[in-house]
Amino acid sequence: MATYKKTDAAIARLSPEEYRVTQQSGTERPGTGALLHNDEAGIYVDIVSGEPLFASSDKFESGCGWPSFTKPIEPLNINELRDTSHGMVRTEVRSTHGDSHLGHVFPDGPTDRGGLRYCINSASLRFIPREEMEAQGYGDYLNQVEDI
């Protein structure tokens, strides 16, 4: 089983925007994320630790301006925390092992798929295409990724 953790080397590889989002709990501007319109089959992992977070088969177009998912691929890799910043109460989503700020989860997702919308910053994610998952150590998740 793979070990996922935050390292100084991983932090050093982050772009200024990736650092701002993941380490300083920032938010990328809506509609600007590189993965917003990605429709390839594969998984999304934490850009810092590499821990598996979301499957392409759980991604949907919500119209909010950020990649949206109905559920995590590995629930134990997601921490949900109360966020009272900006004068509102929300639920922040952070990776368990990398402690990266990912985004927020809202109860306005597709009702037929559980009703949740994980609204995630592209800057916190690295996409692994389905055909590269085995080689990159994510073969255990192939059965959770449907061909698109």
Looking at the annotation, which residues are catalytic? Answer: 119
Edge-to-edge, what's the strand order for the sheet holding 117-120? 59-60, 68-69, 117-120, 101-106, 90-95, 78-83
Q: Are residues 52 and 45 in contact, defined by beta-carbon separation less than 8 angstroms? A: yes
